[in-house]
Amino acid sequence: MHPWLSTAEWLIAILILIPTLYAMLRGAPFVPTPMEEVRRMLKAAELKPGDVIYDLGSGDGRLVHTASRLYKAKAIGYELSPLVWAWSIFLSLFWRSKAQLKFGNFWNKDVSDAKVIVCYLLPPAMENLKQNILPQLKPGTLLVSHAFQIQGWIPYKELERDREKKLAPVWVYKIGAEKSAPKSKPKKARSKKG
């Protein structure tokens, strides 16, 4: 093999691997949210046409495409893993939505214009989100988290785990109301069974 070619191949592999490993370790690996969960997360997000929604780690883009198509929201996703992002761009051809799928590290982005933020990130990333991103958000902004909670915050809504349908719980937090003692238990939106 020509030595230049093998150097180029190494460089490409490193350029793909470094951001992918960073995203896995500082956020979460690519595991797509089941479509039924996507629909109930977005229903809980109370979106209106034109609302800005970000998916922090947008994976294959299913959340932002669905938000754009079903709710006419201005939906933006950030994805740092090059292969996952390239896959999401390819899938966009079939979704035909107005969602924007951006390649980039969401930790460095300004998401302060969000009405809703959705995420599916591991607990250390949720803690980082609480310290570094959520303080920038406007009161009333909703954070809709698949599977993982923000420790110490009181949810505005909680969608229960549905073992039959293999759906994890969803935690919804309202910025500005996350620390106040709930007057009653958080609203529970139960999925219909059968």
Ligand X SMILES: C[S@@+](CC[C@H](N)C(=O)[O-])C[C@H]1O[C@@H](n2cnc3c(N)ncnc32)[C@H](O)[C@@H]1O
Residues contributing to the site for ligand X (CB under 6 A):
23, 26-28, 30-33, 55, 57-59, 62-63, 78-81, 84, 105-107, 120, 146
CB of 118 to ligand X, least distance (A): 7
Judged by CB, which is closer to ligand X: 177, or 191?
A: 191
Judged by CB, which is closer to ligand X: 70, or 154?
A: 70
CB of 123 to ligand X, least distance (A): 12
Contact 165/36 with Cβ under 8 angstroms? yes
Within 36-191, strands assigned E span: 52-56, 74-79, 100-103, 116-119, 142-146, 157-159, 170-174, 187-189
Judged by CB, which is closer to ligand X: 100, or 105?
A: 105
CB of 152 to ligand X, least distance (A): 22
Structure tokens at 11: 């460089």
CB of 47 to ligand X, least distance (A): 16
By DSSP bridging, strand 100-103 and strand 74-79 are parallel
Looking at this protein, which amino acid is placed at residue 135?
P
